[in-house]
Amino acid sequence: MTELLIRGAKQVVTLAGPARPRLKQEMRELSIIEDGAVLTRDEQIVAVGKQNEVRNLASPLAEQIDAGGCVVMPGFVDAHTHPVYAGTREDEYEMRAEGYTYQQIAERGGGILSTVRKTRAASEDELFELAIPRLRLMLEHGTTTAEAKSGYGLSVEDELKILRVIRRLDESQEIDLVPTFLGAHEVPEEYRASREDYLDLVTKEMLPAVASQKLARYADVFCETRIFSVEEARRVLSRAATLGLGLRAHVEQLSLSGGAELCAQLKAASADHLEWVDDDGVNALQRSGVIALLLPGAVFNLGLVQYAPARKLIDAGVPVGLATAFNPGSSPTPSMQLVMSIACAQMKMTPAEAVSASTINPAYSLGLGASIGSIEPGKRADIVVYDCADYRQIPYLFGVNHASTVIKGGRVVYVRRS
């Protein structure tokens, strides 16, 4: 038995509360314990409370972490990432600075398809090695669970290759990964003249192979003007549902298409992006309880101005989450801390709402709300110590990594060198 006592915390931000996603005002209720401590035993949290009470429960042999004056929070749950790919796209970053848009770059052969070309050319081992430092960076910034999508293969063989890499990564590094199949991320070059055939390939070959090999828990689709229409997305997601996969979708990112309503109709686990969602879409999400996963890092990095209407979504009672969308094009950041900063400054979320949206709500979007996302007895000991005295400093003092110690499953997996 291994015990760990995290003691002396200025604030333990527990997020203890109802066993469901947090809505409206609940997103501001973080259940903070001042002068707190957390006791973990093996992989689980066994006690959290005032330090003098929790201390008495620890065995004399417990390993101790001095969190004196610091903030202690549950690990971030980053529920939208694309971490397995080859190559980088700083050339496109420079082009955007020169005035080209994301869509113009894609029309010139850049964008998702440029990463597809490089990813297809890479071996499984190469992709595995390339992803390790990316996940390490995420961990060092406080992320302890992440969803991970395929989507840069776009052939049966290459999509399965990426999903196998995600499985190996999940087994071999510290962050828990939840795999998502995104074969409908784009129409690949060789199917440009026959997109129907590509949809057949996705629904009749890729999805059955992914499901039978149990390589993904969710299926996703990029529903967007000039990518996949609402009806095409419906076809992919409906087929995925019949094969037992949960559903997520990129919707209303660059234009309004009605994808939010589709997510509501299909009872998707999350509707992601939503920059252009309208009132009908907001109401449909609210009625269905679909979690809105907002990705403001992509808006910021693409130099756009249309952020998702976070205030409207929260005030309407839609459960809201935040994610990095970590990928080589629109959002190459591993940092949920930075995403919180952008969410507060640009979408007018309060720091407390941003914390709920980065922990407990995305945990529920991945079906993991009962085991992660808050610091409560019985939950997995995924805990991060931040080198600041108030949780609001995490988004406020932006552009730096506040995480000083990361604990995954009761084990210290990162300590910042001073």
Distance of closest approach, residue 377 Cβ to ligand NIG, in angstroms: 36
**Binding status of residue 115 toward ligand NIG by CB under 6 A:** yes
Q: Which stretch binds ligand NIG (CB under 6 A): 133-141, 315-323, 329-337, 345-353?
A: 329-337
Among 253, 356, 358, 365, binds ligand NIG (CB under 6 A): 253
What are the backbone dihedrals phi and psi of residue 64, each rounded to the nearest 5 degrees, phi first? Answer: -125, 145
Among 329, 351, 373, 410, binds ligand NIG (CB under 6 A): 329
**Binding status of residue 237 toward ligand NIG by CB under 6 A:** no
What is the C-alpha separation between 306 and 201, in angstroms, rounded? Answer: 34
CB 287 within 8 A of CB 308: no
Q: Which is nearer to ligand NIG, 82 or 392 (CB)?
A: 82
Distance of closest approach, residue 325 Cβ to ligand NIG, in angstroms: 4
Q: Which is nearer to ligand NIG, 40 or 324 (CB)?
A: 324
Distance of closest approach, residue 295 Cβ to ligand NIG, in angstroms: 6
CB 386 within 8 A of CB 359: no
A 10 A CB-CB count for 172 gives: 10
**Binding status of residue 250 toward ligand NIG by CB under 6 A:** yes
Distance of closest approach, residue 331 Cβ to ligand NIG, in angstroms: 6
CB 43 within 8 A of CB 383: no
The string of DSSP codes covering 346-375 is HH---HHHHHHHHTHHHHHHTT-TTTSSS-
CB 380 within 8 A of CB 43: yes
**Residues of this chain, 44-103, that bind ligand NIG according to CB under 6 A:** 82
Please count the residues of this chain forming the interface with ligand NIG, following the rule CB under 6 A. 14
Three-state SS at 108: coil
Give the contact letters, 273-302, x = binds to ligand NIG (CB under 6 A), - = no.
Answer: -------------------------x----
Helices (H) and strands (E) in the chain, counts: 17, 16
**Residue of closest CB approach to ligand NIG:** 329
Q: Which are the contacts of 293, defined by CB distance < 8 A and separation ≥ 6?
A: 79, 80, 248, 270, 271, 272, 273, 320, 321, 322, 323, 362, 365
Q: Which is nearer to ligand NIG, 16 or 84 (CB)?
A: 84
Distance of closest approach, residue 400 Cβ to ligand NIG, in angstroms: 25
Distance of closest approach, residue 327 Cβ to ligand NIG, in angstroms: 4
Q: Which are the contacts of 243, defined by CB distance < 8 A and separation ≥ 6?
A: 207, 208, 210, 211
Q: Which residues contact ligand NIG by CB under 6 A?
A: 82, 111-112, 115, 222, 250, 253, 298, 325, 327-331
